């Protein structure tokens, strides 16, 4: 019997193994084990868990059931789902396209093809909110929230954070798990997917400075710093500081818009001395819009910028709801 058969037998017995455990048990080189394990993962017989140096492999007991329940999807829908649908599983698997949509539907006991048709209809319904550059203009919603107290001139976002029934969008999923997990792998994927849109937006609007909303909570990896460093926008950066009290209070912990306005007013400080005409103010997500609006007011009061336009990676669909989980 071959090495592959022995590895499969070992998984059937122990369910979960590392490369080192397999090597010690079978006395075969790690190179051969890696090659066979890679093929078992591709065939969905084994699931990869974790990342080096703490990687484990687990037998996929659900594999046969999943394959039997997954209908044939044509190439057009394959490309469509690869561009739009992403799932991060409860065990941290990064799943895209057809595999992601199959998993999502099966978890909810939904018929895949019928649910896919409904998903495409929902996405088509939302298409009217995007402009010719595939960016969403949320300015009207901002005025509805703040009225005469609206200080930011316009606000845009690249995608909705979530849509009804289907939950987080692809970009919303990337942002959520990248920020909560401080995951540079997901941050890098997100940057690759938004860079072209942001570069085009900057070229169209002809900004002469950019500002980034600073984080509230200390993290080892700050997503806004990562965005700033990796977008590497060739414009002067307006200096903004976050000034916290004894206990830092993140915006997502505040459920009322009045609380968010007070938080943004009292804890953000514009320390820039230079003056610009048109400033781009970037944040990761816009919910109530309070942070962008209050920072814009401070930029204008200090005469740092005459026009301030906000741009967020994602925004809420129903008005300026409070986004509490990022």
For residue 55, the model assigns a pLDDT of 84
Given a cut of 60, is residue 324 above it in pLDDT?
no
Q: State the Cα–Cα distance between residues 219 and 261, nearest whole angstrom.
A: 24
Residues spanned by the domain of 108: 64-126
Q: Measured between alpha carbons, how far is 23 from 30 in angstroms, rounded to an integer?
A: 6
pTM for this structure? 0.78
Rounded CA separation 242/105 (Å): 42
Q: What is the side-by-side strand order in the sheet with 305-315?
A: 136-137, 154-160, 305-315, 276-286, 209-212, 237-238
Whole-angstrom distance, CA of residue 156 vs CA of residue 137:
5
For residue 67, what pLDDT is reported? Answer: 47
pLDDT of residue 101 exceeding 80, the answer is: yes
Q: 84 with 36, same domain?
A: no
Which 8-state DSSP code applies to residue 245? -
According to the model, what pLDDT value does residue 243 have?
79
Q: Do 112 and 235 fall within a single domain?
A: no
- State which of 108, 126, 144 marks the end of a domain: 126
Short-list 151, 177, 135, 148, CA closest to 268: 151
Same domain, yes or no: 205 and 109:
no
More confident position, 43 or 67? 43
Paired with 237 in beta bridges are 210
% of the chain with per-residue pLDDT over 90:
52
- Of the residues 16, 46, 61, which one is the last residue of a structural domain? 61
Does any domain span residue 117?
yes
Q: Residues, the chain, total?
A: 326
Residues 56 and 70 in one domain: no
Looking at the domain assignment, is residue 326 inside a domain?
Answer: no
Same domain, 235 and 267: yes
pLDDT of 137 strictly over 60: yes
263 inside domain: yes
- Judge whether 322 lies within some domain: no
Asked if 295 and 325 count as a contact pair (C-beta separation under 8 A), the reply is no
Q: Across residues 87-114, what is the average pLDDT? A: 89
Q: Which residue has the higher pLDDT, 47 or 197?
A: 197
Q: Residues 6 or more apart from 222 whose CB is under 8 A from it?
A: 215
Identify whether 9 is part of a domain: yes
**Phi–psi pair at 239, nearest 5 degrees:** -85, 120
Verify that 37 and 138 share a domain, yes or no.
no
The verdict on 145 and 36 lying in the same domain is no
**Predicted pLDDT of residue 256:** 63
pLDDT of res. 68: 46
Is residue 291, in this structure, part of any structural domain at all?
yes
Angle at 13 between CA 8 and CA 18, to 5 degrees: 70
Whether the per-residue pLDDT at 278 is higher than 70: the answer is yes
Q: What is the mean pLDDT of residues 110-115?
A: 93
d(CA 81, CA 179) in angstroms, rounded, equals 23
Are the C-beta atoms of residues 82 and 99 closer than 8 Å to each other? Answer: no
b/e per residue 157-184 (b: at least 16 CB within 10 A): bbbbbbbeebebbbbbbbbbbbbeeebe
Domain-ending residue, one of 43, 61, 79:
61
Mean of the pLDDT values across residues 27-34? 88
Round the average pLDDT of the chain to a whole number and report it: 86
Q: Give the number of domains in the chain.
A: 3
* Residue 93 clears pLDDT 90, i.e. is over it: no
Q: Which two tokens stand for residue 286?
A: 């816009």
| Helical residues (DSSP H) of the chain, grouped into ranges | 3-14, 19-26, 30-42, 63-69, 75-84, 97-107, 112-126, 139-146, 170-180, 184-205, 223-231, 257-267, 290-301
pLDDT of residue 280: 98
Residues 72 and 207 in one domain: no
pLDDT band at 279 (very low <50, low <70, confident <90, very high): very high
Asked, for residue 101, whether it belongs to a domain, the answer is yes
Place of tokens 């307006």: 238
CATH number for the domain harbouring residue 15: 1.10.10.10
Amino acid 133: pLDDT? 86
Among 136-145, 186-195, 262-271, 281-290, which stretch is predicted with the lowest mean pLDDT?
262-271
Q: CATH no. for residue 245?
A: 3.40.50
User: What is the side-by-side strand order in the sheet with 16-17?
Assistant: 16-17, 54-59, 46-51
What percent of the chain is predicted at pLDDT more than 70? 85
Query: Sorting pLDDT into bands at 50, 70 and 90, what band is 303?
Result: very high
- Region 111-139: mean pLDDT is 93
Residues 243 and 99 placed together within one structural domain of the fold: no
Residues 113 and 136 in one domain: no
The pLDDT of residue 252 is: 61
Average pLDDT of span 250-256: 59
Does residue 273 share a domain with residue 185?
A: yes
Residue of 140, 151, 137 lying closest to 264 (CA atoms):
151
Please compute, for residue 9, the number of CA atoms within 13 A of its CA located in the half-sphere on the CB side.
8
Higher pLDDT residue, 219 or 154? 154
73, 122: one domain: yes
Could you give the CA distance from residue 258 to residue 155 in angstroms, rounded to a whole number?
19
pLDDT digits (tens, 9 = 90+) for 159-216: 999 999 999 999 999 999 999 999 999 999 999 999 999 999 999 999 999 999 998 7
* CA Rg value for the chain: 24
């Amino acid at each position: 019997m071959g090495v592959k058969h022995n590895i499969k037998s070992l998984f059937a017995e122990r369910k979960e193994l590392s490369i080192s455990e397999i090597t010690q048990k079978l006395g075969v080189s790690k190179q051969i084990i890696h090659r066979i394990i890679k093929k078992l993962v591709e065939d969905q017989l084994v699931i990869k868990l974790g990342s080096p140096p703490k990687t484990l492999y687990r037998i996929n007991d659900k594999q046969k059931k999943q394959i039997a329940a997954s209908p044939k999807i044509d190439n057009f829908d394959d490309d469509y789902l690869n561009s739009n649908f992403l799932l991060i599983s409860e065990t941290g698997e990064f799943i895209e396209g057809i595999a992601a949509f199959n998993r999502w539907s099966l978890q909810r006991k939904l018929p895949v093809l019928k649910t896919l048709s409904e998903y495409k209809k929902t996405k088509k319904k939302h298409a009217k909110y995007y402009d010719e550059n595939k960016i969403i203009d949320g300015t009207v919603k901002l005025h509805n929230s703040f009225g005469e107290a609206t200080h930011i001139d316009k606000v845009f976002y690249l995608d909705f954070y979530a849509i009804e029934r289907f939950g987080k969008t692809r970009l919303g999923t990337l942002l959520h798990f990248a920020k909560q997990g401080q995951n540079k792998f997901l941050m890098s994927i997100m940057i690759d997917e938004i860079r072209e849109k942001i570069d085009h937006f900057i070229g169209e609007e002809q900004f002469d400075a950019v500002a980034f909303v600073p984080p509230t909570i200390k993290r080892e990896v700050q997503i806004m710093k990562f965005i700033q460093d990796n977008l590497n926008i060739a414009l002067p950066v307006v200096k903004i500081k976050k000034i916290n009290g004894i206990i830092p209070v993140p915006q997502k912990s505040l459920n009322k818009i009045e609380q968010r306005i007070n938080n943004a007013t009292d804890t953000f400080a514009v320390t820039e001395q230079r003056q610009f005409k048109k400033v781009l103010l970037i944040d990761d997500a816009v919910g109530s819009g309070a942070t962008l609006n209050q920072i814009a007011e401070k930029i204008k009061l200090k005469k740092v910028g005459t026009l301030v336009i906000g741009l967020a990676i994602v925004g809420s669909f129903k008005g300026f709801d409070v986004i509490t989980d990022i």
